Structure 1
Amino acid sequence: MTTLAEYKQLLQADSVPQALLDELAADARAGAQKLLGAYNRKLMHRRQQEMMLEEHRKLERSLWPAYPIIAGIDEVGRGPLAGPVITAAVILDENFDVPVNDSKQLTAHRRDALFADIITNARAVAIGVRDNTEIDRYNIYHATELAMADAVHNLRLQPDYLLVDAMHVPVDIPQSKLIKGDARSISIGAASIVAKVVRDRLMEMYDQVYPGYGFAQNAGYGTKAHLEGLAKLGVTPIHRRSFAPVQDALAKK
């Protein structure tokens, strides 16, 4: 009789024969049924990931014949009280098979893993940055547009089409503005992950430079800890002075 350890080893293979699964299903041992249940759950998860990947690639597949170099564009950091707005532009090809999703739906650990996969396997990746002084000068919406244009210009490949999450990029390239694009397009989803990881790591660095505001935890958003830091320590050089809570802190000073 096949031991449970042997079954466990055989189930690690990329392709498991149906005969082995039938044998396992007929095995009355509780441990055998537990192994079969775990394998079926793993198989279901894999199929769900494949379906999600194909769904997220659908838009790109419809455009690739006419536009072979498509860049997905997304931003992170429009809402915080401190730090820059970061944008990312990512160009993928038809062989990219990493299932990405809206960065906000992922754990930090999963984002880091996907970030490495994207950087390694994408055709091109670039970022754009507009800091708090430019946000105050232009307003956050226009600063984000400029940062998106920067990301496009920084790509090593010139895209012939842009898929953009809910904004228009001020460049002379055909583009589609997609509401909730990071959940509808694999390119935008990849860009959202890159922008999020880059900005989070930057804010972790700023937490070391300006302790007391919780930047490593809140990424500059107006959390209780951040507002308490503003009240106690005042405004730092990376705060957005055009945002109301920062204006209030300056007025009280």
Structure 2
Amino acid sequence: MADPLSADAFLAALRGEGVKVVEVDGWRSRNRDHKGKWGPVNGVMIHHTVTRGTAATVKLCVEGHGDLPGPLCHAVIAKDGTVHVIGYGRANHAGLGDPAVLDAVVAESGLPANKENVTDGNRHFYGFECENMGDGKDPWPAAQVDAIVRVAAGLCRAHGWGTTGTTSVIGHAEWQVGKIDPKGPGITMDAVRKEVAARLKAPAAKEPPKPPAPAGPPTYTVREGETLGWIAEAYGTTVAELQKLNPDIKDPDKLAVDQKVKLPG
């Protein structure tokens, strides 16, 4: 339990763990503080966005949608691991959740199953929205998961959390009945907490780990309605580069479901 970090200290915590940060214009004063108190903060909550493309994801999280005004988090974590800081203060990300889960987060004890949505989570958690469709098929690149671990470890380190456990870091599904995020493949909150705990045992390291040499070129499995343009945006490349890697693709707007598209290494 602690007062929220200052905006400068928040940035320092992320950058101290080697996170690549983009500051979105106006983030320091973008919040929902007029709707209630922010703090004491007790932990970090991870979400997925059900969106495609970094620019569209950031825009949505800044502006909100329907009856849920923005900001929808404090930062967006893109598929390439870049962290786009969009707001600071109370944000519409956690909603109501289980007070027993909050008690476990404060105590850094084992998380109980959530049973009721009655406690204001927007007050008590830093929120990170991660660019992912959340359908159980959209992959979570290693760079994105590494950034999740780093932002969580940075905030835990800054607040002194993680001395007895790492349940200061939870997923939205662990907080609020009816939520499923973050959903894999490629991510589980137990695995994230394990990696956060490992980072906290050593001083902050700014250099990202070197990935193992791949056995072959990475590929993406096409789903209905997807184009090379969307895949290029999602993975930080261009349609021209993807066509070079996939000369059999003649029309970038006509891909077959389950077709394998080679990605840059």
- Shorter-chain TM band: under 0.3
* TM-score normalised by structure 1 residue count: 0.27
Give the TM-score of the pair, scaled to structure 2.
0.26
Structure with greater proportional helix content: 1
Structure showing greater Rg:
1
